[in-house]
Structure 1
Amino acid sequence: MSTKPAPAPLPPTPPGRYRHYKGQDYEVLGAVRHSETEEVLVLYRPLYNNTGLWVRPHAMFFEHLEVDGQMKPRFTLIGE
């Protein structure tokens, strides 16, 4: 039986209320790991409807996008 090394610690992902650059609010529950690929994902839910829990790749959740010629974060922490 081979022993797989332990995965790296999850990156800091403060839980709380985040605002998407398009204006909608979401609750982030934390970072999770994909069971097969070990990809780090952000677990969140929209606060403007009841469509359940969603995941998005961590790097994509925290990336910056060009919007109207300016770089903006995709999501911004606005409260706990």
Structure 2
Amino acid sequence: MSAVTPADDSKPAETVATDPTAHGAGDPLAPLPEAPPGRYRHYKGGEYEVRGVVRHSETLAPLVLYAPLYNDSGLWVRPYDMFFGNVEIDGRVQPRFARLPD
């Protein structure tokens, strides 16, 4: 297994695993959930483009990778379950992000 140690010697040496199987004694990573790429509207009105699903480097939790279409603020991630979850606004349950037609 390869490892990376911090270059800053003033901090305690900490080893970070860079081997993708290091999370579970050689077990392969579980497949990531699907997220249809495309445009989505946030419940507050902004439009976003989903680029895909990625994995958190420490927890391995699935994250949705997306970018706003209304400004150039770069790429963002949000936990998968939160992105595709529901919110309650004024007593009405609705998706946090709703997929827009192509």
Q: Percent identity over the alignment?
A: 60
Are residues 1:11 and 2:29 paired? no
The aligned amino acid for 1:34 is H
Q: TM-score, normalised by structure 1?
A: 0.92
Shift of 1:48: 0.4
Are residues 1:63 and 2:79 paired? no
Instruction: Choose from 61, 64, 69 the match for 1:42.
Output: 64
Tell me which residue corresponds to 1:76: 98
Identify unmatched segments of 5+ residues in structure 1: none
Instruction: Choose from 25, 31, 54 the match for 2:76.
Output: 54
Please, what is the CA RMSD of the aligned residues?
1.4
Shift of 1:4: 2.2
The structure in which a higher percent of residues are strand is 1
Q: Per-residue CA shift, 1:43-68, capped at 9, x if unaligned?
A: 00000000000000000001111111
- Greater relative contact order (Cα 8 A, min sep 6): structure 1 or 2? 1
Query: How do residues 25-40 of structure 1 correspond to structure 2 at under 5 angstroms?
Result: 25-40=47-62
Q: TM-score, normalised by structure 2?
A: 0.73
Aligned residue pairs, count:
80
Q: Which runs of 4+ in 1 moved over 6 A?
A: none
Identify unmatched segments of 5+ residues in structure 2: 2-21
The structure with the largest alpha-carbon Rg is 2
SS at match of 1:79: coil
